Amino acid sequence: MINKIEVDLNAISGNLGLFKKIIYPETKIIGMVKANAYGHGLVEAARVIWTSGADILAVERIEEAVELRVAKIKAPILIIGYVEPADYHKIIDFDLIMSVGDYESAYQLSREARKQNLWARFDINVDTGMNRWGIPVYEFSQIYQKMLDLEHAKVVGIHSHFVDALNAKLAKEQIRLMQNVLFALQQGKFSIPMVHMATTDAILSNPESQFDAIRIGFGLFGYSDFKQDVGLKPALEFKTKIAQIRRVAKGESIGYGRAYIAKQPKKIAVLPIGYADGYPRALSNKAKVLVSGKKAAITGNICMGAIMIDVTGIDCSLGDEVVLIGKSGDDKVYADDLAKLADTTAREILARLPARLPREYHFK
């Protein structure tokens, strides 16, 4: 394989173990495997997360949940994103949990369950400030009561999302709003299911955010925006090979648009990979890759299926391995390094790695 992704499953399992040491013993773990498990491969990542001790798995789309069921993964599966009504029957058929952010969705789901004479399960989204999905705090108690009265439907969770978990003031305000919601339910003598709000950064920065369960995604794969190093290990490496080596004279340009002009003679290697393979064009003339343990700069605009790199002074040959994300020798380039250069997040860098790229899994 010329272009491939290698995934260290032991690193994922180890990262989960680190979070287990941080959280309270009774706190449940929801392993987030949305977006093809942040580019790591849905089924294999989900399986190792489940067998390493997660209590629940969570995905963004119903298609991901069905794929896990087809792969015979029997964990409880929460769909955290939107599900269109035409797919509500799959929630019941595949024994899934649906996130709902309004009464109508819960009602329609219960109607589908009643048609099949079965029970549906749902987890309610509370909007504590994201202004995306969810029931507003001031309406929650009233709508919650109506949801509890639905036939053939059971509330199994209540959750919310932090706007910025590392903004201490804002995070505490959102926690306060969630606590107010729960207090109102207690005052109304309502039963309260599993409550979850914290994701990777909130878990590391604010133990108060744990409630009954935590949702870990980014952290399972070795990344966090939390400044303190807690020992997380990136699990993914993205690799290709040198397909051509050429000499470029002083004054010649490289690639589309003449975005790079050689100021001196250069030895250039061509890589058979580009932005169609998930490597952002925004990294043109900015990022570096690793060749023979040394950093080589990208020269010129990244193409749809090719990248040119400066290997002047580097001993390399056709077919040699090139690391775009990962380690080589004593040096490394990780997704968060690329994210800074591309003015984005490491989550996007990883999530946009295409599912069609072959993945090799290792349990070292």
User: Mean pLDDT, to the nearest integer, of 77-101?
Assistant: 97
CB 33 within 8 A of CB 57: yes
Active site residues: 34, 256
Closest C-alpha among 48, 49, 85, 83 to residue 66? 83
Strand partners, 124: 100, 158
Check residue 201 and give its pLDDT: 92
Span 272-284, pLDDT tens digits: 999 999 999 999 9
Span 185-203, pLDDT tens digits: 999 899 899 999 999 999 9
Check residue 46 and give its pLDDT: 98
Residue 227: pLDDT band (50, 70, 90) is: confident
Check residue 207 and give its pLDDT: 86
Q: Where does the chain hold its CATH 2.40.37.10 domain(s)? A: 236-362
Mean pLDDT for all residues in the chain: 96
228 pLDDT more than 90: no
Span 27-83, pLDDT tens digits: 999 999 999 999 999 999 999 999 999 999 999 999 999 999 999 999 999 999 999
Residue 72 sits at φ, ψ, to 5 deg, of: 65, 30
Check residue 16 and give its pLDDT: 97
Helix intervals (H) in 23-139: 34-38, 42-51, 62-70, 88-93, 103-116
Helix axes 42-51, 9-22, angle to 10 degrees: 40
Taken in order 242, 246, 252, 257, the sign of the CA dihedral is negative
Q: Which fold has domain 8-221?
A: TIM Barrel (3.20.20)
264 pLDDT more than 90: yes
Span 127-186, pLDDT tens digits: 999 999 999 999 999 999 999 999 999 999 999 999 999 899 999 999 999 999 999 999
Task: Give the rounded percent of residues in the chain with a pLDDT score beyond 70.
Answer: 100
Rounded to the nearest angstrom, the gap between the alpha carbon of residue 202 and the centroid of all alpha carbons in its chain is: 15
Q: Where does the chain hold its CATH 3.20.20.10 domain(s)? A: 8-221
Angle, vertex CA 287, rays to CA 281 and CA 292, nearest 5:
125
Integer Rg of the chain from CA = 24
Check residue 226 and give its pLDDT: 86
CATH number (2.20.25.90, 2.40.37.10, 2.40.128.20, 3.40.50.300) of 236-362 reads 2.40.37.10
E strands present in 128-265? 135-136, 153-159, 194-196, 213-216, 236-241, 244-248, 253-254, 260-261
Span 6-17, pLDDT tens digits: 999 999 999 999
**DSSP category for residue 129:** S
132 Ramachandran zone, left/alpha/beta (phi>0; psi -120 to 50):
alpha
Span 301-321, pLDDT tens digits: 999 999 999 999 999 999 999
Tokens 């990294």 belong to: 283
Check residue 276 and give its pLDDT: 97
User: Mean pLDDT, to the nearest integer, of 76-105?
Assistant: 97
Check residue 37 and give its pLDDT: 98
> What is the pTM (predicted TM-score) of this model?
0.94
208 pLDDT more than 90: no
What is d(CA 57, CA 68) in angstroms, rounded to the nearest whole number? Answer: 10
Count Cβ neighbours within 10 Å for each residue of 183-197 and write b for 16 or more, e otherwise: ebbeeeeeeebbbbb
Check residue 364 and give its pLDDT: 66
